[in-house]
Structure 1
Amino acid sequence: MLGFAGVALVVADGLSGDLALWTAYLACIASLAGIALGTLYQKRFCGSFDLRTGNAVQFLAAAAVTVPLAWLLEGFVVTWAADFVGALAWAVLVLSIGAISLLYWMLRRGAATAVSALFFMVPPVTALMSWAIFGEVFGLEELAGMVLAVTGVALAQARPRSRAGLGRGGAGRGGSTR
């Protein structure tokens, strides 16, 4: 809940009454819910698979949805420019291949809930990148949101201490304090 409250504070300033903007917000919320549920499903039922195969399946499924929409709505018109090529390279190499491979790798080695909690870091990190790259200014509300989101993620990432280590002497797990 802290992560969600933090994200709400970070993005609250940009909210408006525009229906198209709210549709975009709802799409983002739906995609966050989808990736969180997909992460939990994958951790439970698809624990070990080849990362290249997993990426290929995901990208083919995404292409099956987006290619017909791109054809219908935009006609595949591309204006090649340096900015576009840079953004495309970032989206393909870092965000798609890199981030999804990292997600799969983290799922294999950690709890799905801890991995899912990291999604709440996206708005604060994006806000910081926007500040560093574009000179975006944000106020106390956004800073408070970042602190809440980071605190929520830190709590979700924290491993509970073993009760065995809390006995007399603090040796834990049957060890000796001598």
Structure 2
Amino acid sequence: MKALRVDALGITFILVWASGYVVGKLATDVMPPLTVMLWRFVLALAALAAIAAIRREAWPSGRELWGLAGIGILMFALQFGGLYTALAEGMPAGTVALIACSSPLLIAAANAALRWERLSPARWLGIILGVIGVVITLSDRVGRPPSSTALLWTLLGLVGLASGTMLQARLRPTSGPTAQGTVEVAAATIVMAAWAPWNGSLAIPLTAQALSSYLWLAIGGSVIAPLMLFALIRRRGATGASTLLLVVPAVTAIASWPVFGTPIGPLTIIGLAVAGLGLWLAQRRAAPRPLLVTTAPSRSDR
């Protein structure tokens, strides 16, 4: 029964994360990318803080507070700011998705190099197959970077996602999970508030497309998805949680069909099959190394 719940959480996470790409396209068609980021973080911050207060969760302080703030800057501000800026610089969306969704391989390699996590040969094979599946899915959409600047922004986004995920897995704070998310999004909001004004208007158009896409990105993409990701990291570790991203490009392509009319080609189906096989192999759990911070469980976890 426990395995069934974990699988359901993983499937839901994949669907919500993939929806962010589809809805993000709708939002950025009518708003500057970093404007979308700023205001989705503002609304997500208010929602997370309210949930944490209602649940009476313990709040982080001291070293824990600063650690969570740093993770938030990496995982939210640097990841999304870097990837969306790359798109605005003309980087093809397929290339951005390919680089971002190869993060499980980077995370696995970094964890192995740091001896934070031991992976079996089957899990390594699964991650490599998953990346191959991503390449197959996106092979007809990948283009050359228009400039070294666009490539750099994409790589910075990848580093933000990978390093934030790894550090999230290493910490065991005493505060509640929603309170942790509040601190992380608050830190990202501060960074984005300084960054977004340099990249266009901060106004949200009062249209159905702009408002509906914005609301979903704020609640689904910045509240629901991160909380699910944190839960998956606690249960599966950084590598296990991040490997779910391997099937996101294929799921995104399928979801884009009814929204944008983009037909599903054979490469999407083949890529999904290969990535799915890789995901199955990569989910074989390995014993993690001792955690960086060990503290007593919070009142909200009891």
**TM-score, scaled relative to structure 2:** 0.47
| TM-superposition CA deviations, 1:13-38 (whole Å, max 9, x none) | 12234606992x66445434432332
CA contact under 8 A between 1:48 and 1:108: conserved in structure 2? Answer: no
From the superposition, tell whether residues 99 and 112 of structure 1 become closer, same or farther in structure 2 (CA, over 3 Å): same
Is 1:11 aligned to residue 138 of structure 2? yes
Q: Say if 1:124 and 1:146, in contact at 8 Å, map to a contact too.
A: yes
RMSD: 2.5
Residue 52 of structure 1, CA deviation: 1.8
Distance change (3 Å), C-alpha of 1:116 and 1:49: farther
Distance 1:47 1:148, change over 3 A: farther
Q: Residues 29 and 72 of structure 1: is their aligned pair in 2 closer, same or farther, counting only changes over 3 Å?
A: closer
Q: CA deviation at 1:54?
A: 1.7
1:95 aligns with 2:197: no
Q: Does the CA-based 8 Å contact 2:233-2:241 persist in structure 1?
A: yes
Identity fraction in percent: 29
Give distance in 1, aligned partners of 2:153 and 2:138: 15
| Equivalent residue letter for 2:202 | F
Distance 1:18 1:96, change over 3 A: same
Question: Highest relative contact order (Cα 8 Å, sep 6+), 1 or 2?
Answer: 1
Q: Which residue in the other structure is 1:35 paired with?
A: 161
Structure 1 position 74 matched with structure 2 position 192: no
Please show how residues 72-151 of structure 1 align to structure 2 within 5 Å.
72-151=198-277
Does 1:46 find its partner at 2:172? yes
Deviation at 1:48, TM superposition (A): 5.4
The match for 2:278 is 152
Q: 1:109 to 1:159 in 2, by over 3 A?
A: closer
Equivalent residues, number: 159
1:47-105 CA-to-partner distances (Å, cap 9, x unmatched) read: 65412222112212221222222212213132111111110111011111000011111
Q: Structure 1's 28 and 6: CA in aligned 2 closer, same or farther, altered over 3 A? A: farther
| Cα distance in 2, alignment partners of residues 18 and 109 from structure 1 | 37
